[in-house]
Amino acid sequence: MFRRKTLLLITAIMLLSVSLLSGIEVRPAHAQAGQTITVTGIGTASGQPDIATVEIGYQILNTQLANAFNNGNTAMISITQALLDQGIAQSDIQLVAYNVTPNDRGQGGVPSGNFIYRFSQVLRVTIRDISKVNEIITAAVAANANIVQNFAFGIDKVDALETQARTEAIKNARARADQLATGLGVYVSDAINITDNVTVNNIVPTGSGSRGAVVQLPEEGTAVPLAGQFIVTVQVGITFTLRTQP
């Protein structure tokens, strides 16, 4: 009797296992190979810059710390006011550097206790009317600015260009996938993974002087930099599944 019950229990367990497994589709591992294709698509869109940024400031050397500090601050107040008078919003003027540095004037590395002080202060200015670039920089120089550096054009809202370039990149990726699939005798199905990367480049170098250096501007004013054109490039990587039937 005990043996019969044991056999019945084993049989019931086996039937239950078969029932549970009947809803699971088991595929060999090698069946997954070759069922996807990954391609890269590239799209571009171009646009004219509508803003410019430039760093404007003042530096002075003085043997008296108080004089360096006071003269420097006075010059920066004048420069800031000149920018405001040109229609630059206060929110578009940002302090990016403020330094008062003592330098010992001893020779041969021997401290003398005789210092000269370098005061420097730099503002990053956003110019939203690029037709006034020359006028604004000239006004700042007339107000005693002697640092003009890191000038660059830009696009304030690049989203529209990104969207245009991304749409083109997706179409390009699909066309490549279709071409490869046709050569393999299969068909492209669903996209299961996508990545993208965006780059923005100005195709015309801009600026006066070398980046990061103090620029000596001519007394008669500054030359208007060439704005050039911005190219937004979007690169997408898309993985598609493949099917053997249309």
All structural domains of the chain with their residue ranges: 31-50+155-246, 51-152
Determine the Cα–Cα distance for residues 203 and 54; give it in Å rounded to an integer: 19
pLDDT number for residue 144 = 94
> How many CA atoms, within 13 angstroms, populate the side-chain half-sphere of residue 163?
4
CA dist 136 to 76, 95, 139, 208, Å? 15, 17, 5, 14
pLDDT number for residue 14 = 47
* CATH class (in words) of the domain with range 31-50+155-246: alpha beta
**% residues pLDDT > 70 (the chain):** 73
Residue 181 pLDDT more than 60?
yes
Architecture field, domain 51-152: 2-Layer Sandwich (3.30)
Instruction: Considering only residues 108 and 61, tell me which one the structure prediction assigns the higher pLDDT.
Output: 61
pLDDT, one tens digit per residue, over 98-151 is: 998 888 776 766 666 788 899 999 999 999 999 999 999 999 999 999 999 999
Residue 84 contacts residue 47 (beta carbons within 8 Å): no
Collapse the DSSP code of 43 into the 3-class scheme (helix H, G, I; strand E, B; otherwise coil) and give the result. Answer: strand
Strands laid side by side in the 93-104 sheet: 93-104, 115-127, 51-62, 147-154
pLDDT, one tens digit per residue, over 221-232 is: 445 556 678 889
pLDDT number for residue 156 = 86
Residue 141 contacts residue 94 (beta carbons within 8 Å): no
Query: Mean pLDDT score of the chain, rounded to an integer?
Result: 79
Most confident of 163-177, 198-212, 228-242: 163-177
Longest dimension (CA), the chain: 115
pLDDT number for residue 103 = 84
pLDDT number for residue 34 = 56
Closest residue by Cα to residue 123 from 155, 159, 88, 157: 88
Residue 15 pLDDT more than 60?
no
Rounded to an integer, the average pLDDT of 52-75 is: 93
pLDDT number for residue 223 = 52
For residue 153, the tally of other CB atoms under 10 A from its CB is: 24
pLDDT, one tens digit per residue, over 198-217 is: 988 765 443 433 333 333 34
CA dist 18 to 8, 9, 12, 14, 27, Å? 16, 14, 10, 6, 17
**% residues pLDDT > 90 (the chain):** 54
Determine the Cα–Cα distance for residues 161 and 49; give it in Å rounded to an integer: 12
User: Cα 98 to the chain's mean position, in Å?
Assistant: 26
Beta bridge partners, 121, equal: 58, 98
pLDDT, one tens digit per residue, over 68-78 is: 889 999 999 99
